[in-house]
Amino acid sequence: MPDSTHDAHCAPFVPLPLALIRRLGAATLVVALAGSFVPAAPALARTPPPKAVLDASAVAVPDRYSADTAQQIFAAGGNAVDAAVAIAFTLAVTYPDAGNIGGGGFMTLYVDGKPYFLDYRERAPQQATRDMYLDDKGNPVPGMSLVGFRAVAVPGTVDGMWEAQRRFGKLKWKQVLAPAIKYATDGFVVEPWLQKRAEYASKSFAGKTNFSVYFAGLKAGATFRQPELAQTLSRIASDGGREFYEGKTADLISSQMYGHGLLSKTDLVQYKAVWRQPVTADWNGYRIVTAPPPSSGGVGLIQLLKMKADLKPAFAGLDLNSSAYIHLVAQIEDRVFADRQQYMGDPDSYHVPVDKLIDDAYLAQRADEVTPDEVPGATPVKPGLGDSMPERAETTHFSVVDKWGNAVSNTYTLNGPFGSGVVVDNAGFALNDEMDDFVAKAGTPNQFGVTSGDVNTIAPGRRPLSSMTPTILLKDGKVSLVIGTPGGSRIFTSIFQVMTNLYDFGMPPADALAAMRFHHQLLPPKTIYWEPYHPITGELAGQLKGLGYTLEGQKFNGDVQMIRVEGTTPEPAADPRGAGVGRVFH
């Protein structure tokens, strides 16, 4: 592969006879390429470099190491896509419970004034079957889709990063991988939170995978080095992104999976990231650009925002996160999750009625069903289009804006903490457990408590449904907000609440992130989840219980990384619930 993603593969230059050149004329230059004459494009005047439209570039990222990486990339002249790809590979080293090359995700981009979306979600192996996680009685086997070899889907991260950087990056491929290789080679200092996550994960993996062989050294204050991962990243840097799928790394993956899991070398060779049309909608004077299926999050976010806008009279005068406010939002969420369960899946396998689900008239009709005096659970909430068919802390998100006005919102994941717990021997990275995002049996909840119908069952090559919602907001054709979060089914409800805090309640970014968040998702019914950062207690708890809700705690409700752009000034903000960093680069 060429050192630069912008180099062309050309046949050797063959000089032409002078007489032939004279006969063709000075206006046309002809070169010999693969045995035939091809007219070259006329010479173009040198294009001046694009002018900066913002005061600075900025990132909001999950850790300080990835922020340092972004600084290096911008200093070298890289753009938002270069920085995003470099951040992703760095997090695969320094944030290994969620940052990854063995998982997959989604990237929403705004480049040179145009929106794009890249789906590098994992796929089910060709040997996968609909009932592969069921016992002889037809019931799901606990843990089989979460831990070990059979939980692994075909990874997409490396091909996604390769596609994005090759299409839009300014720097050489080797340049954007260099910081990650350095962290893997020289090591990084382990933070206490990473040690805790490794200890938590190891309890699930004990005796079932080789996790401890590679990650037992994650001790707070220690310098953690990953020489095998450094070699893997160096191969990918030298040979290009397809090395992961066709080269030595692919051989290492398939050799380890042979006889244990379903993933094969053929699955890797056949994997390709997919460019899709982002879901877009107008809201509150802004243009939303967000994730299409196989994400349910983009549609869900738009539904939440638009239904709340339709219910403006009902929300008028209500205090943020009062019992009456939470009650109305919970009813909206019931309807969103009912639609998610019925209609959302892999668009390459089903027709997902996206346009109908975000149609203004449809959402106004659904909003009309919401009433302040509704008794939770009294009437089952059903999907709104009839019977037509069409994530956890261990996901991570980062947001990037460059001085030229380009933006990247990227969410990627291993699914559970450190994925399946299977680490590729002699390659040094963990593989995902993304097969759990399929429905082992229709109507049976996954690890996040959400269900799906037949649209999200297992089939060879199918991409599982996701809630990841990397989102960009535009104002008059310019980036105004870049936002996203991990959190499984909590992802788009968390983004919705932060955007509401920003635009409906006028909070500054830091306050919008710090405000209390809650979650409700249709099933289990009548249940409001609260977070340890802002527990629901006292009078508010009593009022919600009086309305008929059950209150349950949850360990995690998002780690939002966002950048708001006011005029020409980017304002990054990292969620106080995590270890994220917001940084501006002048």
Distance (Å, rounded) from C-alpha 88 to C-alpha 92? 6
Angle at CA of residue 58, ends 487 and 300, nearest 5°: 30
Contact 397, 410 (CB under 8 A): yes
1 by Cβ neighbours in 10 Å (0-12 / 13-18 / 19+) ranks as middle
Nearest 5 degrees, angle CA 175-CA 95-CA 395? 110
Considering all CA atoms of the chain, what is the largest pairwise distance in Å, rounded to the nearest integer?
Answer: 94
Query: Which residues contact residue 289 at a Cβ distance below 8 angstroms, ignoring those fewer than 6 apart?
Result: 108, 110, 115, 117, 278, 279, 280, 471, 472, 473, 474
Q: Which is the catalytic residue, given 108, 232, 395, 396?
A: 395
Take residue 195 and report the two structure tokens written for it.
């040690």
Q: Are 517 and 557 in contact (CB under 8 A)?
A: yes
88 three-class SS = helix
Q: Report the DSSP pairing between strands 57-61 and 395-401.
A: antiparallel
Contact 563, 572 (CB under 8 A): yes
In angstroms, the CA 482 to CA 495 distance is 11
Concerning whether 395 is annotated as a catalytic residue, the answer is yes
Q: Is the peptide bond before 294 cis (omega within 30 degrees of 0)?
A: yes
Q: What residues contact 136, with CB distance under 8 A and at least 6 apart?
A: none
Report how far residue 262's alpha carbon sits from residue 122's, in angstroms, rounded to the nearest whole number: 14
Contact 431, 152 (CB under 8 A): yes
CA-closest candidate to residue 303, choices 369, 366, 358, 360: 358
Token code pair at residue 3:
């050192």
| Closest listed residue to residue 472, CA positions, set 274, 293, 301, 586 | 301
Beta-strand runs (E) in 293-431: 395-401, 407-413
3-state secondary structure of 427: coil
CA separation for the pair 84, 104 (Å, rounded): 14
Which residues belong to the active site?
395
